[in-house]
Amino acid sequence: MKKIILFSLMFLMFNVQSSFSTDTLTLKYFPLSVGNVYKYNYSSSAGLNYYYKARIIKDTIINSKKYFITSSSFPGFGGGLIRVDSATGNLYKRFNSGYCSYSPYEILIDSLKAHKNDTAYVCDSGGNHICIDTNIANVLNMSVRKKAFERYNFEGFVTYSYGYGIGIFGTFEFSSFGSGGDWLVGAYINGVLYGDTLLTGIEKLNELIPEKYSLYQNYPNPFNPTTKIKFEVPTTLSIPHAPDGNPYIRLSIFDILGREVAILLNEQLTPGTYTIDWNASAFPSGIYFYSIYIDEIRKDTKTMVLLK
Q: pLDDT truncated to tens, each residue of the chain (308 aa)?
A: 444 444 443 333 333 333 333 456 888 999 998 878 888 888 889 888 877 778 787 889 998 999 998 877 788 877 678 999 988 899 999 887 766 777 888 888 999 999 999 988 777 666 778 999 999 999 998 999 999 999 887 778 999 999 999 999 999 999 888 899 999 998 888 877 788 655 445 677 777 888 888 999 999 999 998 899 999 988 754 444 444 456 778 888 999 999 888 777 777 777 888 988 887 877 899 999 999 988 778 999 999 999 98
d(C-alpha 294, C-alpha 303), whole Å: 19
Q: Are residues 169 and 209 in the same domain?
A: no
Helix (H) / strand (E) containing 25: helix 2-27
Give the Cβ contact number of residue 153 at 10 Å: 12
Last residue of a domain, one of 195, 212, 239: 195
Q: Are residues 178 and 210 in the same domain?
A: no
Q: Are residues 147 and 44 in the same domain?
A: yes
Q: Are residues 159 and 78 in the same domain?
A: yes
Amino acid letter, 257 = L
Q: Are residues 52 and 186 in the same domain?
A: yes
Q: What is the DSSP string of 257-303?
A: TS-EEEEEEEEE--SEEEEEEEE-TTS-SEEEEEEEEETTEEEEEEE
Domain assignment present for 24: no
d(C-alpha 129, C-alpha 251), whole Å: 34
pLDDT at res. 160: 94
Q: What is the pTM of this model?
A: 0.62
CB 210, CB 196: distance < 8 Å: no
Backbone angles phi, psi at 13, to 5 degrees: -65, -40
Last residue of a domain, one of 195, 215, 242: 195
d(C-alpha 155, C-alpha 292), whole Å: 33
Structural domain total, the chain: 2
Q: Domain of residue 90: give its range.
A: 30-195
Q: Are residues 296 and 181 in the same domain?
A: no
Q: Give the Cα-Cα-Cα angle 260, 187, 77 (nearest 5 degrees).
A: 55
Q: Are residues 175 and 280 in the same domain?
A: no
Q: Are residues 173 and 211 in the same domain?
A: no
Q: What is the CATH number of the domain that holds 212?
A: 2.60.40.1930
Distance, CA of 151 to chain centre: 19
Closest CA to 56 of 148, 188, 162: 188
Domain assignment present for 5: no
Q: Are residues 173 and 207 in the same domain?
A: no
d(C-alpha 193, C-alpha 187), whole Å: 6
Domain assignment present for 25: no
Q: Are residues 150 and 251 in the same domain?
A: no
Domain assignment present for 242: yes
Q: What is the CATH number of the domain that holds 59?
A: 2.40.360
